[in-house]
Chains A and B, each alone.
Chain A
Amino acid sequence: MGRHRRPLFIVGFLIAPVTLYVVFVISPYLQAFQIALTNWRGISANPEYIGFENFARLVDDEVFWEAVRHHGVLLLALPLLTISIALVFAFLLNLGGGVRGGVMSGIWGSKFYRVVFFFPQVLAVAVVGVLFQAIYRPDDSGVLNGALIRLGLEPVGWLTEPSLAFWSILAVMVWQAVGFYVVLFSAGMAAIPGDVFEAAALDGAGRFRLFFSVTLPLLWDTLQVGWVYLGIAAFDGFALVQVLSVDRGGPENATTVLPLEIWKTAFSYTKFGYASAMGVALFFMTITFAALTLRVSRRERIEY
């Protein structure tokens, strides 16, 4: 290949993805920035520029801050719960059974559980929402309340109790995500040489020690990947809240999230300018999170 043809070659490869990215990602973002400075209501051909008024209104918007607070909680709780549960499951599935037949293996029946854990992952979010509506139903036809009533207890308003609704939905998010991370961490554990575990077993490590002193540190890289994925997922939650919550984000905005607020503001209240301002705010939150995790989680790579 001639020297002058090298750039041509690179451009040839880049042109399609860059075009797609610019048209469908960059340009909508830029447009959102632009619309955020207007009072556009979706009809006018020449929306009026109102400067940073939309952003000023955001500062005093209670619902907006409620949604942001939810993202804050999600950002902490979703990765923490999902990763902890997935780690325990992955450990039991892959290493919990100790050495059997010369290789580390999982507890009895681990092949079956592997399939069961991954099952939620293959369900569409809307299906999961409908499924859990049935589980959380307030009367005795709900799976949980039916059981409670039969035990002679008061039924619980899983989705109608403002203090509980958010956690009910968080539980569904965790339930749905765990399977994927079990698979991810299983792959990570499979990459750790088996003789390291054997050496630890000979050194006197029990299951507990094996997990905390050997498995966990060696899985750190995979764990970080999981944390970033889940952190980004914590800025979403639109579909599940939309399907599952009462009054879309209710009761009393107790379960609302930013994407849902943006959607409502834009398409229900037709305040596109204001919705775009929220979108811009969400964009900066996501970017900040991504930049922070990349900085904080930088750590020396483990080599075997």
Chain B
Amino acid sequence: MASIVLSNVDKIYAGGVKAVNDLNLEIKDGEFMVLVGPSGCGKSTALRMIAGLEDISGGEIAIGEKVVNHLPPKDRDIAMVFQNYALYPHMTVEENLAFGLKLRKMPKPEIQKRVNEAAKMLGLDQYLKRKPAALSGGQRQRVAMGRAIVREPQAFLMDEPLSNLDAKLRVSMRASLNTLHERLGVTTVYVTHDQVEAMTLGDRVCVLRDGLLQQVDTPQNLFDKPVNLFVAGFMGSPSMNFVTADLVRTDGGGAAVTFADISLPVPESTFTEKAGLDAYIGKQLILGIRPSDFEDAAAANGHSGTTGWARIPARAEVTEELGSEINVLFLIDAPPVEHKDTVAAKDADEDEETIPLAGDKSLWTSRVNARSHVRPGQNIELIVDTHNLHFFDSVSGLAIGHPANAGR
């Protein structure tokens, strides 16, 4: 096991396309690091550079304190799981697992022992004599995992290993990946475009965009304290609602954000948490609200009285019932935010906008408790947790008051 350190790593393809731009990342020993971002953000390229499958155009990659820039893949002591599994089709499962060990001239009994252990761990015992063609997608995926495990490498590299599985299998494989990592404790770098996978698997998550590192943090911190509009829009499903709003002083001495015909009070605590926010009073900024910070006022009587919850009347255009929760889509009488960051994050998101927008309105999503029973076309009184408002600079798109943005 080892740490992996990327220092000022660049990848420039012929033609000058910069796939990875000055990437600095330290993956600690035993850590599960997820690289996430929309397609073309350079996450796979970064992984393949660690593996040695791509040349490094600039900077340095060290695995276990040894610089590996010029080492061929086989000498880096890492194992990789590919998106399409990349099993050897002409070998049985057993031979697939043993191939890497055989090439390393390991004694036969030791190979047998490791193969059997891995097969048992992954529930592949009864398939050892089969060829990959006779396995299901999930089984092939486990063989690919097994091939990495038997090698007992310094680090696992995984390139979207679950994306070819169906949704249900993906969830269960996600769980087994988690337990596997806990049991083996091997440093893992995991690439995915799926932010749910990133959130559930990663000890830490690294968000990339256009080859540039956006933010590295624990999943919860990424969700609660996104560093900019892109991360805010990319992480979380359904994604964060944005609107261009004015931050103003109210008559009572407090502060509020106003947009459309809505005014949300901003608690004093927010100003102490987000240093520099007071400088925006009287100015425009971009307000972000997570769908999960909404609640149906009628269904959540307890909250409505307490401070910090503001009311927004809305008309439910579309409702998506998820069983335990309902996604209520409603229109806000304000133009959609057209910042380059939100557009980029939206492109990456899988759910498309369902209704064509009428004029200058933006479609917001709120996630309310299923007790709400709201139906499309009904009016609903939503309440918002004003403690969890997110504020972004309308030009730079950076989160206001985020420690990482101080001085930027």
Interface, chain A (partner B; CB < 8 A): 99-102, 193, 195-196, 198-206, 209, 213-214, 217-218, 220, 300, 302-304
Q: Return the CB mask of B248-276 against A: 1 if under 8 Å, else 0.
A: 00000000000000000000000000000
Which A residue's beta carbon lies closest to that of B99? A203
CA–CA, A203 to B77, complex, Å?
A: 9
B130 at the interface (CB under 8 A from A): no
B133 at the interface (CB under 8 A from A): yes
Given A102-B48, A102-B53, A209-B103, residue A204 in contact with residue B74 (CB < 8 A): yes
Q: Which of A196, A201, A209, A217 contacts B53 (CB 8 A)?
A: A201
Given A101-B13, A195-B84, residue A202 in contact with residue B73 (CB < 8 A): yes
Could you say which residues of chain B place their CB within 8 Å of the CB of A204?
Answer: 74, 100, 103-104
17 further interface pairs, Cβ-Cβ under 8 Å (given A218-B89, A218-B90): A99-B53, A99-B73, A101-B13, A101-B54, A193-B84, A195-B84, A196-B88, A198-B80, A199-B82, A200-B99, A202-B52, A202-B78, A203-B99, A203-B103, A203-B147, A203-B151, A303-B132
Could you say which residues of chain B place their CB within 8 Å of the CB of A193?
Answer: 84, 86
Which B residue's beta carbon lies closest to that of A203? B100
Q: Return the CB mask of B62-98 against A: 1 if under 8 Å, else 0.
A: 0000000000111000111011101111100000000
User: Nearest Cβ distance between residue B107 and chain A, in whole angstroms?
Assistant: 16
Q: Which of A193, A202, A303: most chain B Cβ within 10 A? A: A202
User: Nearest Cβ distance between residue B376 and chain A, in whole angstroms?
Assistant: 46
Chain B interface size band reads 20 to 34
User: Nearest Cβ distance between residue B271 and chain A, in whole angstroms?
Assistant: 49
Q: Which of A102, A199, A218, A304 contacts B80 (CB 8 A)?
A: A199
B14 at the interface (CB under 8 A from A): yes
Q: Check A200–B104 contact: CB distance below 8 A.
A: no
Would you list 21 pairs from A and B whose C-beta atoms are within 8 A, ordered by A residue?
A: A99-B73, A102-B45, A196-B87, A198-B86, A199-B86, A199-B88, A201-B53, A201-B72, A201-B73, A202-B52, A203-B100, A203-B147, A203-B151, A204-B100, A204-B103, A204-B104, A209-B103, A218-B90, A302-B90, A302-B133, A303-B132
Given A102-B53, A201-B73, residue A213 in contact with residue B13 (CB < 8 A): no
Q: Check A102–B89 contact: CB distance below 8 A.
A: no
CA–CA, A205 to B73, complex, Å?
A: 10
Q: Which of B74, B78, B82, B90 contacts A205 (CB 8 A)?
A: B74
Interface, chain B (partner A; CB < 8 A): 13-14, 45, 48, 51-55, 72-74, 78-80, 82-84, 86-90, 99-100, 103-104, 131-133, 147, 151
Could you say which residues of chain A place their CB within 8 Å of the CB of B80?
Answer: 198-199, 202
Q: Which of B51, B84, B89 contacts A202 (CB 8 A)?
A: B51
Task: Rank and list the top 3 A-B pairs by shortest CB-CB distance, nearest first.
Answer: A203-B100, A195-B86, A303-B133
Q: Check A303–B103 contact: CB distance below 8 A.
A: no
Which B residue's beta carbon lies closest to that of A214? B88
User: Nearest Cβ distance between residue A206 and chain B, in whole angstroms?
Assistant: 8
Could you say which residues of chain A place their CB within 8 Å of the CB of B54?
Answer: 99, 101-102
Q: Check B104–A202 contact: CB distance below 8 A.
A: no
Given A199-B82, A205-B103, A218-B89, residue A101 in contact with residue B14 (CB < 8 A): yes
User: Nearest Cβ distance between residue A42 and chain B, in whole angstroms?
Assistant: 55
CA–CA, A303 to B55, complex, Å?
A: 31
CA–CA, A213 to B89, complex, Å?
A: 11
Which A residue's beta carbon lies closest to that of B54? A102
User: Nearest Cβ distance between residue A191 and chain B, in whole angstroms?
Assistant: 12
